[in-house]
């Protein structure tokens, strides 16, 4: 028995013909669907890149305990278990995060591995020569607070591109060439697992011209922007459409090399004894919900609801679809089971054979998310996002024996706050470091609040609904799954849910009243009634001001509102009355739709007022940065 995994990064299922898109030219993905089972309800678990790969190894969620991290010393590793049980495991990848501090213990779990260099800001070629950087957009490039690593990867990417002149030079082409060579060399042997993993179609969407030509209109001017920001999509629709074409071009390149794997499986009749899995770590937002990318917004289905294709020669079913709910954590136990390797007790994923054979469910709910962000749950129809209940996102700790971040070691300031935690059920009796975690001002997802969607009637997740009974029901199941994962006690407190899972509708409504006090602080309510977007725009403005100036910022705002005739125009008679007005909710099961005209007629302080105020006080050289920050922080969905 042999198994091949072809893994992509940031593959949005809505762009594949297998999920209804007939605009993108992907004949080999169509061919793939004819040879495999297509999963309609596949969801992520831990996000983003390396947390997803960690659960690909461990078969269990990790986002409740840790963010971006290497494989921990106590982790079970699927490819390592294979090699220790006589199944050869080999990795071919261009995913540069494997070679950084935060991912440095993954590739060495395989029996052998090959790397291709040059993706994104991979520190590959060394050059001090000035390079033109005209591929990224969104966040102001001259932002003073832009971290060094952001500036550096953009510069490094420009260096890398100068060395990628021919298609065969591209990292994806090299990765698949290495994988195809492994198949050619070993197609007559038994007992091996091959993982061909490309960073594509992750941004930047850099491809050879021939793939871009597939989506260019005649006479169309050259368009250089292929690197979206992690942030709001504020560009014109025509601009967004051109960026999407860049993504589609990269998908067509992915399709081309996928076809080469399918060709070899045909040539050597490998379908009779070789499992094939085609998967991704997560999806990607390309302007949907007015966002680009991932991580900084709620985990919408464009990110969480993933494509998945699987052929199991033992089952022998192809060209069919499955609706049962599955997750990334199911892949490790499924592969171990295929090779007859015992599944460790700490793996919580399920073997997918019952789903493949007869679409028999292996789970009723899926829990997923990013560390320190929303905790999300779905049953395939209902999807509930539970947000932090405090703006500072506390209490929150990471548990690890590998104190690294994505591209660096943990700073001393974090290590100084280290405690030693008691063992978790999956750490093999070992105590771990307990490290304080903070995202800084405005960094948490608190501002988005809790969200409940009925995917059956609102598949685009455009209209959150208000249904306290369903919310309480899903919280109960969420707590059950968190307990099964041995979640730290503070994670329940962070999102405001009881550890026993029992919460009444009355308690939920009381939480909402308390939330309004947090969202509309007393010092702002004295100016009148605020639109919530305006509150967050003002908070962002305050965070950019020196601490000693925050007092006079309120004085300036008071004078500004008075001059515009808005000061106290709708001022509540008391704190409680104002709070009650702000907290008013629609009827159960209904969506609240309030136009900007309605809010303006009610005399609310609007975001437009705060932007106009900021324009008066922010120095011209800082305006682009300030505007971007205020627009980002005031995006609440």
Q: Are 483 and 597 within one domain? A: no
Q: Are 591 and 569 within one domain? A: yes
Confidence of residue 570 (pLDDT cuts 50, 70, 90): very low
What are the tens digits of pLDDT across the range 578-592? 444 444 444 444 444
pLDDT value at 33 more than 90: yes
Confidence of residue 544 (pLDDT cuts 50, 70, 90): confident
Q: Are 290 and 379 within one domain? A: no
CA angle, residues 167, 173, 178, in degrees to nearest 5: 145
309/316 Cα distance (integer angstroms): 14
The two beta strands, 397-400 and 433-436, are antiparallel
List beta partners, residue 4.
194, 276
Cα atoms in the 13 Å half-sphere on the side-chain side of 582:
31
What are the tens digits of pLDDT across the range 267-290? 999 999 999 999 999 999 999 999
What are the tens digits of pLDDT across the range 218-254? 888 889 999 999 999 999 999 999 999 999 999 999 9
Q: Which pLDDT score is estimated for 600?
A: 47
Q: Are 355 and 213 within one domain? A: yes
Q: Which pLDDT score is estimated for 549?
A: 59
In a domain, 140, yes or no: no
In a domain, 83, yes or no: yes
Of 475, 494, 513, which marks where a domain is finished?
Answer: 494
Q: Which pLDDT score is estimated for 595?
A: 52
Helix (H) or strand (E) holding 262: helix 237-267
Mean of all residue pLDDT scores within the chain: 92
Q: Are 174 and 300 within one domain? A: yes
Domain that holds residue 593: 522-633
Nearest partner of 543 among 425, 483, 630, 605, judged by Cα: 630
Is residue 172 within 8 Å of residue 253, measured between CB atoms? yes
Mean pLDDT of 312-320: 98
In a domain, 539, yes or no: yes
Q: Are 346 and 375 within one domain? A: no
15/171 Cα distance (integer angstroms): 22
Q: Are 306 and 393 within one domain? A: no
Q: Are 334 and 413 within one domain? A: no
Of 322, 337, 359, which marks where a domain is finished?
Answer: 359
CA angle, residues 594, 595, 596, in degrees to nearest 5: 125
Q: Which pLDDT score is estimated for 546?
A: 66
- Phi, psi at 593, each rounded to 5°: -120, 110
In a domain, 512, yes or no: no
Percent of the chain with pLDDT over 90: 81
Q: Are 77 and 215 within one domain? A: yes
* Total count of domains within the chain: 3
Of 333, 359, 385, which marks where a domain is finished?
Answer: 359
Q: Which pLDDT score is estimated for 293?
A: 98
pLDDT value at 604 more than 90: no
Q: Which residue has the higher pLDDT, 313 or 550?
A: 313
pLDDT value at 144 more than 80: no
In a domain, 135, yes or no: no
Q: Are 7 and 103 within one domain? A: yes
Q: Are 374 and 355 within one domain? A: no
- Model pTM? 0.93
Instruction: Give the sign of the dihedral formed by CA 116, CA 120, CA 122, CA 123.
Output: positive
Confidence of residue 30 (pLDDT cuts 50, 70, 90): very high
CATH number at residue 335: 3.40.720.10
Confidence of residue 442 (pLDDT cuts 50, 70, 90): low
Burial class (CB in 10 A: 0-12, 13-18, 19+), 63: buried
In a domain, 500, yes or no: no
1/275 Cα distance (integer angstroms): 8
Q: Are 440 and 551 within one domain? A: no
In a domain, 604, yes or no: yes
List the structure tokens of 189: 């042997």
Confidence of residue 431 (pLDDT cuts 50, 70, 90): very high
Helix (H) or strand (E) holding 456: none
In a domain, 424, yes or no: yes
Mean pLDDT of 534-539: 94
């Amino acid at each position: 028995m042999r198994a091949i995994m072809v893994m992509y990064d940031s593959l949005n299922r809505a762009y594949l013909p297998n999920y209804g898109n007939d605009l993108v030219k992907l004949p080999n993905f169509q061919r793939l669907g004819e040879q495999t089972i297509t999963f309609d309800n596949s969801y992520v678990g831990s996000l983003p890149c390396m947390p997803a790969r960690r659960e690909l190894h461990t078969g269990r969620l990790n986002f409740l305990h840790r963010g971006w991290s290497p494989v921990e010393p106590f982790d079970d590793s699927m490819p390592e278990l294979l090699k220790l049980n006589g199944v050869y495991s080999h990795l071919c990848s261009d995913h540069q995060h494997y070679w950084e501090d935060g991912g440095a213990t993954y590739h060495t779990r395989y029996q052998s591995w090959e790397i291709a260099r040059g993706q994104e800001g991979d520190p590959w070629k060394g050059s001090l020569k000035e390079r033109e950087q005209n591929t990224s957009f969104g966040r102001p490039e001259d932002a003073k607070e832009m971290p060094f690593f952001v500036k550096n990867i953009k510069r490094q990417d420009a260096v890398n591109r100068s060395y990628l002149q021919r298609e065969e030079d591209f990292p994806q082409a090299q990765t698949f060439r290495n994988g195809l060579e492994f198949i050619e060399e070993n197609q007559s042997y038994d007992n091996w697992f091959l993982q061909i993993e490309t960073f594509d179609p992750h941004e930047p969407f850099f491809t050879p011209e021939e793939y871009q030509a597939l989506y260019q209109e005649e006479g169309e001017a050259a368009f250089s922007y292929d690197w979206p920001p992690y942030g709001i999509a504020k560009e014109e629709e025509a601009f967004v459409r051109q960026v999407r074409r860049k993504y589609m071009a990269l998908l067509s390149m992915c399709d081309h090399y996928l076809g080469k794997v399918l060709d070899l499986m045909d040539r050597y009749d490998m379908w009779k004894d070789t499992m094939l899995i085609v998967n991704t770590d997560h999806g990607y937002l390309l302007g949907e919900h007015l966002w680009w990318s991932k991580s900084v917004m709620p985990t919408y289905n464009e990110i969480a609801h993933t494509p998945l294709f699987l052929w199991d020669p033992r089952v022998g079913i192809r060209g069919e679809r499955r609706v049962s709910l599955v997750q990334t954590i199911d892949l490790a136990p499924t592969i171990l089971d295929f090779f007859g390797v015992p599944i460790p007790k700490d793996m919580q994923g399920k073997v997918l054979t019952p789903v493949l054979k007869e679409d028999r469910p292996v789970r009723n709910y899926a829990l997923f998310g990013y560390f320190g962000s929303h905790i999300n749950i779905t049953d395939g129809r209902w999807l509930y996002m539970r947000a932090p209940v405090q703006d500072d996102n506390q209490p929150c700790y990471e548990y690890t024996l590998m104190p690294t971040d994505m591209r660096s070691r943990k700073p001393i300031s974090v290590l100084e706050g280290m405690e030693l935690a008691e063992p978790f059920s999956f750490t093999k009796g070992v105590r771990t470091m307990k490290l304080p975690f903070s995202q800084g001002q405005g960094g948490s997802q608190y501002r988005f609040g809790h969200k409940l969607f009925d995917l059956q009637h609102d598949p685009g997740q455009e209209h959150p609904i208000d249904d306290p009974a369903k919310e309480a029901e899903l919280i109960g199941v969420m707590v059950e799954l968190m307990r099964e994962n041995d979640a730290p006690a503070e994670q329940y407190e962070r999102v405001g849910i009881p550890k026993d899972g029992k919460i009444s509708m009355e308690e939920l409504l009381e939480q909402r009243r308390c939330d309004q006090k947090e969202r509309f602080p007393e010092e702002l309510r004295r100016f009148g009634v605020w639109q919530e977007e305006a509150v967050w725009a003002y908070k962002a403005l305050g965070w950019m001001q020196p601490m000693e100036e925050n007092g006079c910022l309120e004085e300036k705002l008071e004078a500004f509102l008075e001059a515009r005739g808005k000061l106290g125009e709708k001022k509540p008679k008391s704190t409680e009355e104002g709070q009650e007005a702000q907290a008013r909710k629609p009827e159960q099961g209904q969506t609240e739709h309030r136009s900007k005209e309605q809010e303006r007629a009610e005399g609310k302080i609007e975001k437009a007022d705060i932007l106009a105020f900021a324009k008066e006080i922010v120095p011209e050289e800082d305006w682009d940065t300030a505007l971007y920050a205020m627009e980002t922080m005031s995006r609440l969905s």
